[in-house]
């Protein structure tokens, strides 16, 4: 097991194994295999077409509905680019059905631009779970607590995590059941190549504090997406650059690393996307109609709220339980050198509200900046969202190559926001 040293002397412990010719023009549309695009139906409404492995699109599928209560169809009602269902602009897809917040990525859930990463069926999008038929975008309600009775990074049993003074009140929210898969992220890459970018201030927890979002330090609030993040490095416009970014670990030359991304759809579509940096994770969640969870929200969901669990599947404290086996999650014993597993491969390790892989598989980005100790002893819906000069972000949950101490619910990790690693991934949160 190796260690990554943070700039403030805090160790982020996670186990680590840690000239061209121009083609002749063609009238056939070229696309990224596995991606989807809007198309125009005979009735004038928008449909969806999927890219084949040969770079050509399927026929336009019209009347594409989501699986929510309203069975509604996302339609673009704007004027600047009515041919694009998920362009993310001022005219972005308007969901005309009743609210059905169980379906991520549609506009009634979080002001979503477009149909989201599971808008069409496909490998790593519609075939997750033990049955292989569950939406990979399933989002589950995490019931909050109305008083500051949850202790952050505390389980009462593990060495270093027996100080219960860092209290927090957490409002209810939804958290995706699964880590974001390769199949889902492939849709996002296609959208970015097509020109999508987040708008300034997007990605906030708008259901909190009258739309201001999470409470930050010094009486501030969550700022949302900063246009300074919108760089060519974070939003490549060619697939070749994305392929390079998603298979190359930052600062590493070891050929044994295990990226899950493949240039073309393949056997990894249901594995969690790894090698993503914090900017990728944040932008994806915005595009998909949600936001990155705060460190406190993530900790609360993994700990089973006031159960204060040692591991997501463990008994509540007291008495608590430190039992872990190869049947609970992908970690050093169960995964070994084999790398990540398909999301949801360890149902015996699911958390209190049904979430999979909150321990192991890949460590998960949160919205917070790094801070060695929490900013406030007691807080409500808080996050460390403002830190001039700080570039590290908090990451939680441990990874497939972590030992039991690395995947404790209470374990805090941090690394550079720009870092790409085989052990880093994420999942999105959404309004309740």
Q: What is the CATH number of the domain that holds 432?
A: 3.90.1580.10
Question: How far apart are the C-alpha atoms of 57 and 35, rounded to whole Å?
Answer: 9
Please give the Cα distance from 350 to 212 (Å, whole number). 32
Assigned domain for 253 exists:
yes
The pLDDT value recorded for residue 352 is: 98
pLDDT, position 388: 80
200 found inside a domain: yes
> Taking a C-beta distance cutoff of 8 angstroms, is the pair 179, 163 a contact?
no
3-state SS, 276-302, equals: CCHHHHHHHHHHCCCECCCHHHHHHHH
Q: Is the peptide bond before 56 cis (omega within 30 degrees of 0)?
A: no
The pLDDT of residue 254 is: 61
Domain count, the chain: 2
415 three-class SS = strand
Cα separation values, 216 from 42, 46, 183, 376, 414, Å: 50, 40, 34, 10, 18
Token couple for 59 = 């026929």
Whether 353 and 143 have beta carbons less than 8 Å apart is answered as: yes
Are 274 and 219 contained in the same domain? yes
Q: Are residues 61 and 192 in the same domain?
A: no
Residue 20 lies inside a defined structural domain of this protein: no
Low-confidence ranges of the chain (pLDDT < 50): 1-29, 40-46, 64-114
Residues 90 and 58 in one domain: yes
Answer yes or no: do 393 and 330 share one domain. Answer: yes
Is 109 domain-assigned?
no
Q: Which one, of 378, 393, 309, lies nearest residue 349 by Cα? A: 309
Task: Enter the tokens of residue 347.
Answer: 């149902």
- Which residues constitute the domain of residue 86? 30-104
**pTM of this prediction?**
0.77
Q: Does 61 lie in the same domain as 124?
A: no
Tokens for 24? 């002749």
Same domain, 166 and 272: yes
Same domain, 83 and 163: no
* Nearest-angstrom CA–CA distance, 370 and 379: 17
- Rounded CA-CA distance 8/14 in Å is 17
- Tokens matching residue 208: 């909190």
User: Is there a single domain that holds both residue 95 and residue 127?
Assistant: no
Write the CA distances from 38 to 137, 189, 232, integer angstroms. 20, 15, 25
Last residue in a domain, options 53, 77, 104: 104
- Do 134 and 77 belong together in one domain? no
Model pLDDT, residue 47:
58
Q: How far is the CA of 298 from the CAs of 34, 76, 176, in angstroms? A: 30, 33, 11
In a domain, 14, yes or no: no
Nearest to 290 by CA among 210, 364, 203: 203
Q: Do 91 and 129 share a domain, yes or no?
A: no
Distance in Å from the first CA to the final CA of the chain: 38
Q: What is the pLDDT of residues 365-383, one digit of tens each?
A: 999 999 999 988 999 999 9
Measured N-to-C along each axis, helices 182-193 and 278-287 cross at an angle, to the nearest 10 degrees, of 80
| Structural domain includes residue 159 | yes
How far apart CA 391 and CA 412 sit, in angstroms, is 16
Alpha-helical runs (H) found in 303-381:
none
Give the pLDDT confidence of 392-402 residue by residue, as tens digits: 999 999 999 99
User: Rounded to whole angstroms, how far apart are CA atoms 169 and 150?
Assistant: 7
The secondary structure of residue 268, as a DSSP letter, is T
Same domain membership, residue 120 and residue 87? no
Same domain, 85 and 215: no
Domain boundary among 53, 78, 104: 104
In a domain, 399, yes or no: yes
Domain termination residue (choose one: 71, 104, 137): 104
Domain assignment of residue 6, yes or no: no
């Amino acid at each position: 097991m190796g260690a990554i040293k943070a700039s403030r002397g805090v160790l982020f412990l996670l186990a680590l194994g840690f000239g061209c010719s121009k083609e002749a023009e063609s009238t056939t549309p070229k696309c990224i295999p596995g991606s989807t695009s809007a198309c125009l139906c005979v009735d004038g409404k928008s449909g969806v077409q999927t890219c084949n492995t040969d770079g050509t699109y399927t026929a336009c599928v019209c009347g594409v509905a989501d699986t929510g209560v309203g069975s509604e169809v996302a339609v673009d009602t704007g004027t600047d680019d009515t041919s694009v269902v998920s362009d993310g602009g001022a005219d972005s897809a308007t969901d005309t059905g009743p609210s059905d917040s169980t379906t991520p990525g549609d506009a009634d859930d979080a002001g979503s631009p477009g149909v989201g990463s599971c808008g069409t069926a496909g490998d790593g999008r519609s075939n997750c779970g033990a049955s292989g038929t569950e939406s990979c975008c399933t989002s589950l309600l995490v019931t909050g607590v109305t008083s500051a009775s949850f202790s952050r990074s505390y389980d009462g049993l593990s060495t270093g995590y027996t100080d219960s003074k860092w209290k927090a009140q957490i409002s209810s929210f939804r958290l995706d059941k699964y880590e974001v898969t390769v199949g889902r992220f492939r849709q996002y890459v296609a959208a970015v190549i097509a020109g999508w970018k987040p708008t300034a201030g997007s990605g906030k927890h708008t259901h909190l504090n009258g739309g201001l979002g999470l409470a930050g330090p010094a009486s501030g609030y969550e700022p949302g997406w900063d246009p300074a993040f919108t760089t060519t490095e974070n939003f490549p416009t060619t697939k070749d650059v994305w392929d390079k970014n998603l298979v190359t670990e930052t600062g590493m030359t070891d050929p044994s690393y295990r990226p899950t991304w493949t240039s073309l759809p393949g056997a990894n579509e249901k594995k969690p996307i790894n090698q993503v940096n914090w900017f990728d994770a944040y932008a994806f969640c915005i595009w998909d109609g949600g936001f990155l969870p705060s460190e406190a929200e993530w900790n609360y969901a993994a700990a089973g709220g006031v159960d204060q669990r040692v591991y997501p599947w463990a008994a509540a404290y007291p008495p608590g339980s430190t039992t872990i086996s190869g049947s609970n999650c992908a970690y050093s014993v169960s995964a070994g050198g084999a790398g990540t597993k398909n999301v949801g491969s360890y149902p015996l390790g699911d958390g209190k509200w049904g979430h999979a892989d909150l321990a192991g598989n890949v460590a998960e980005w949160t919205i917070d900046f790094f801070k060695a100790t929490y900013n406030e002893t007691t807080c409500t819906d808080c996050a460390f969202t403002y830190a001039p000069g700080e570039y590290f972000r908090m990451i939680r949950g441990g990874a497939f190559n972590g030992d039991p101490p690395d995947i404790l619910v209470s374990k805090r990790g941090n690394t550079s926001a720009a870092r790409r690693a085989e052990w880093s991934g994420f999942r999105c949160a959404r309004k309740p």
